[in-house]
């Protein structure tokens, strides 16, 4: 048996302690498989004394994560601290500079500094593995980096945030309002006290930036992704979607168009008979439409201690086996600059919900605004009379358009608002052709 593979682990939260447990429980299995013992040489975390339910008796404690990253005893630095800058970045850079392999679960770090870190890893000939950074246990990084590496990728999309999927699923199944489900999710610990990162779509956008870079060979950063969250989704939208044969999901979608790459996170109407529509609760999924491989769908836990630790451990196993790949499939120097597609040119069908003043001629005026922009309606339903907040009697009108462009839809909705026939800002949800 060759030399043991020695790890330094920084960050002992749910994932870190899950990893310690997995490495201890599966020690013989891992050694048998890789031909090497995988040992934890040292750890680092904010507080040393806390009971984490795992023994740290035989493990050296290092106060400073950056010092641990450069520690002469370790072969692999495992970064589970989190955060796009600060200690996590400093420690990962230090580890790579010192010629250590790095395994990280840090999506924010990768989505902001991934290319620079990849260049450093390549120069040093070490691994930078990050399966756990995107969708927990779902092996989407391996899929894009290895399994379909020979394919032209047409599109990647998925449900990349469990909190949003839980909220939308509960709204649908229990007929609850967004704010009530969010409160419940916070009480149960599914959603953070400040849920903005999840419900605003930012968490999913970090993940999408990483998989877009892998899929299309284009260096995409988090702030180049178009992001819309789920805050504006109402029970009326959820119920209308159900009646029309759709489910509303927060999707991350990336595809190549004539004008560049569309990388977008937003609520979308998904036909209910599609497998993605069936992915509910905190579960995540990622689909890859590839030229030769066809359409793949990976479904599973996108978060949690054990599933995320499983992805981290898989990356460690690769290193134990001597596998070192370019972090973003091709050499970092070969990645092309990101050319963002013009979303105005996005072609698709749209769901529109309007609170229309219940007055003669209002519908005709709305239909004219649509017609003037060349937007053709597939269906139009007046659902029920409601009261607009400050505006007197209004009726809910749901429209589904035929395929058109986003520019035309936005112009038509702006004209409708300007015309004064609606009591609220129109709701617009893209219908994703899957
Ligand atoms: N907060 C994320 C989610 C998990 O709700 O899916 C970590 O990325």
CATH for 115: 3.40.50.720
Q: Which structural domain range is residue 285 located in? A: 140-301
Q: Is 163's C-beta closer than 6 angstroms to any atom of ligand 1?
A: yes
User: CB neighbours of 360 closer than 8 A, spacing ≥ 6?
Assistant: none
Number of folded domains that form the chain: 3
**For range 354-370, the mean pLDDT:** 92
Dihedral of alpha carbons 205, 208, 213, 218, sign: negative
Domain boundary among 301, 318, 336: 301
Considering the domain architecture, whether residues 236 and 172 belong to the same structural domain is answered as yes
- Does the structure show a pLDDT above 70 at 392? no
Residue 390 binned pLDDT confidence (cut-offs 50, 70, 90): very low
Considering the domain architecture, whether residues 213 and 296 belong to the same structural domain is answered as yes
Considering the domain architecture, whether residues 359 and 241 belong to the same structural domain is answered as no
Domain-embedded: residue 339: no
Question: Domain containing 168 — which CATH number?
Answer: 3.30.360.10
Considering the domain architecture, whether residues 152 and 104 belong to the same structural domain is answered as no
Predicted confidence at residue 50, as pLDDT, reads: 86
Predicted confidence at residue 387, as pLDDT, reads: 52
Pocket test for ligand 1, best of 163, 164, 279, 304 (most atoms within 8 A of CB): 163
Predicted confidence at residue 385, as pLDDT, reads: 61
Considering the domain architecture, whether residues 294 and 147 belong to the same structural domain is answered as yes
Q: Is 203's C-beta closer than 6 angstroms to any atom of ligand 1?
A: yes
Domain-embedded: residue 320: no
Residue 207 catalytic? yes
- Does the structure show a pLDDT above 70 at 76? yes
Query: Which residue minimizes the CA distance to atom 4 of ligand 1?
Result: 303
* Interatomic CA distance for residues 44 and 39, integer angstroms: 15
Q: How high does pLDDT run on average in the chain?
A: 95
Q: Phi first, then psi: what are they for 78, rounded to 5°?
A: -105, 110
* Interatomic CA distance for residues 101 and 316, integer angstroms: 9
- Better pLDDT: 394 or 208: 208
Q: What is the pTM of this model?
A: 0.95
**For range 260-267, the mean pLDDT:** 97
Considering the domain architecture, whether residues 352 and 417 belong to the same structural domain is answered as yes
Domain-embedded: residue 317: no
Query: Which residue minimizes the CA distance to atom 2 of ligand 1?
Result: 161
Measured from the Cα of 160, ligand 1's closest atom is: 6
* Interatomic CA distance for residues 327 and 259, integer angstroms: 27
* 199 Cα to the center of ligand 1, angstroms: 10
* 333 Cα to the center of ligand 1, angstroms: 31
Domain-embedded: residue 310: no
- Does the structure show a pLDDT above 60 at 311? yes
Q: Is 108's C-beta closer than 6 angstroms to any atom of ligand 1?
A: no
Nearest to 402 by CA among 338, 366, 354, 350: 350
Domain-embedded: residue 374: yes
DSSP 298: E
Predicted confidence at residue 65, as pLDDT, reads: 98
Question: Domain containing 426 — which CATH number?
Answer: 3.30.70.260
Residue 410 binned pLDDT confidence (cut-offs 50, 70, 90): very high
* Interatomic CA distance for residues 213 and 327, integer angstroms: 10
Q: Is 198's C-beta closer than 6 angstroms to any atom of ligand 1?
A: yes
Catalytic, out of 100, 207, 249, 421? 207
Residue 185 binned pLDDT confidence (cut-offs 50, 70, 90): confident
Predicted confidence at residue 393, as pLDDT, reads: 78
Predicted confidence at residue 391, as pLDDT, reads: 47
- Does the structure show a pLDDT above 90 at 74? yes
* Interatomic CA distance for residues 68 and 114, integer angstroms: 21
Considering the domain architecture, whether residues 272 and 206 belong to the same structural domain is answered as yes
Considering the domain architecture, whether residues 387 and 259 belong to the same structural domain is answered as no
Q: Where are the alpha helices (DSSP H) in 321-372?
A: 362-372
| pLDDT tens digits for range 93-148 | 999 999 999 999 999 999 999 999 999 999 999 999 999 999 999 999 999 999 99
* Interatomic CA distance for residues 277 and 271, integer angstroms: 7
Q: Is 206's C-beta closer than 6 angstroms to any atom of ligand 1?
A: no
Domain boundary among 267, 286, 301: 301
Considering the domain architecture, whether residues 286 and 361 belong to the same structural domain is answered as no
| pLDDT tens digits for range 5-30 | 999 999 999 999 999 999 999 999 99
Measured from the Cα of 135, ligand 1's closest atom is: 8
* 70 Cα to the center of ligand 1, angstroms: 30
Predicted confidence at residue 383, as pLDDT, reads: 75
- Does the structure show a pLDDT above 80 at 388? no
Write out the two tokens for 355. Answer: 């609170």
Considering the domain architecture, whether residues 128 and 212 belong to the same structural domain is answered as no
Predicted confidence at residue 413, as pLDDT, reads: 97
Considering the domain architecture, whether residues 223 and 351 belong to the same structural domain is answered as no
DSSP assignment of 92-156 equals HHHHHHTT-EEEE--HHHHHHHHHHHHHHHHHHT--EE-GGGTTTT--HHHIIIIITTTSPEEEE
* 84 Cα to the center of ligand 1, angstroms: 15
Considering the domain architecture, whether residues 112 and 180 belong to the same structural domain is answered as no
Predicted confidence at residue 386, as pLDDT, reads: 56
Domain-embedded: residue 114: yes
- Does the structure show a pLDDT above 90 at 236? yes
Domain-embedded: residue 231: yes
Domain-embedded: residue 111: yes
* 250 Cα to the center of ligand 1, angstroms: 13
* 299 Cα to the center of ligand 1, angstroms: 15
Residue 190 binned pLDDT confidence (cut-offs 50, 70, 90): confident
* Interatomic CA distance for residues 178 and 395, integer angstroms: 21
Q: Is 283's C-beta closer than 6 angstroms to any atom of ligand 1?
A: no
Strand, coil or helix: 357: strand
Residue 58 binned pLDDT confidence (cut-offs 50, 70, 90): confident
Domain boundary among 286, 301, 316: 301
């Amino acid at each position: 048996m060759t030399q043991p593979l020695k790890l330094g682990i920084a960050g002992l939260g749910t994932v870190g302690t899950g990893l310690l447990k997995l490495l201890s429980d599966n020690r013989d299995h891992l050694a048998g498989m890789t031909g090497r013992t995988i040992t934890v040489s040292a750890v680092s975390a904010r507080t040393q004394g806390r009971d984490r339910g795992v023994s740290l008796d035989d493990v050296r404690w290092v106060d400073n994560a950056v010092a641990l990253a450069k520690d002469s005893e370790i072969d692999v630095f495992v970064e589970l601290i989190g955060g796009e800058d600060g200690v996590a970045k400093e420690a990962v850079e230090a580890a790579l500079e010192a010629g250590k392999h790095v395994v990280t679960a840090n999506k924010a770090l990768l989505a902001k500094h991934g290319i620079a870190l990849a260049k450093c890893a390549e120069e040093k000939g070490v691994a930078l593995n990050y399966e756990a950074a995107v969708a927990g246990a779902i092996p989407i990084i391996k899929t894009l980096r290895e399994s379909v590496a020979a394919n032209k990728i047409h599109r990647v999309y998925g449900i990349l945030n469990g909190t949003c999927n839980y909220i939308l699923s509960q709204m649908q199944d229990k007929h609850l309002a967004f704010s009530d489900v969010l409160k419940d999710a916070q009480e149960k610990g599914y959603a953070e006290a400040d849920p903005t990162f999840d419900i605003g779509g930012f968490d999913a956008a970090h993940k999408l930036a990483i998989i877009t870079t892998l899929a299309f060979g284009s260096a995409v950063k988090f702030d180049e992704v178009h992001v819309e969250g789920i805050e504006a989704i109402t029970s009326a939208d959820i119920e209308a979607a159900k009646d029309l044969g759709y489910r509303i999901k927060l999707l991350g979608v990336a595809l190549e168009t004539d004008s560049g790459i569309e990388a977008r996170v937003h609520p979308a109407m998904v036909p209910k008979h599609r497998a993605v529509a069936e992915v509910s609760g905190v579960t995540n999924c990622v689909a890859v439409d590839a030229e030769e491989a066809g359409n793949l769908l990976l479904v599973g836990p996108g978060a949690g201690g054990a599933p995320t630790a499983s992805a981290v451990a898989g990356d460690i196993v690769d290193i134990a086996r001597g596998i070192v790949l370019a972090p973003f499939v091709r050499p970092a120097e070969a990645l092309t600059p990101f050319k963002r597609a013009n979303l105005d040119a996005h072609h698709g069908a749209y769901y529109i919900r309007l609170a229309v003043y219940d007055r003669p001629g209002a519908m005709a005026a709305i239909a004219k605004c649509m017609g003037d922009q060349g937007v053709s309606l597939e269906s139009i339903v007046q659902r029920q009379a409601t009261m607009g907040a400050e505006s007197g009697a209004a009726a809910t009108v749901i429209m589904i358009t035929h395929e058109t462009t986003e520019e035309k839809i936005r112009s038509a909705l702006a004209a409708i608002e300007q015309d004064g026939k609606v009591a609220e800002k129109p709701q617009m949800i893209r219908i994703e052709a899957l």
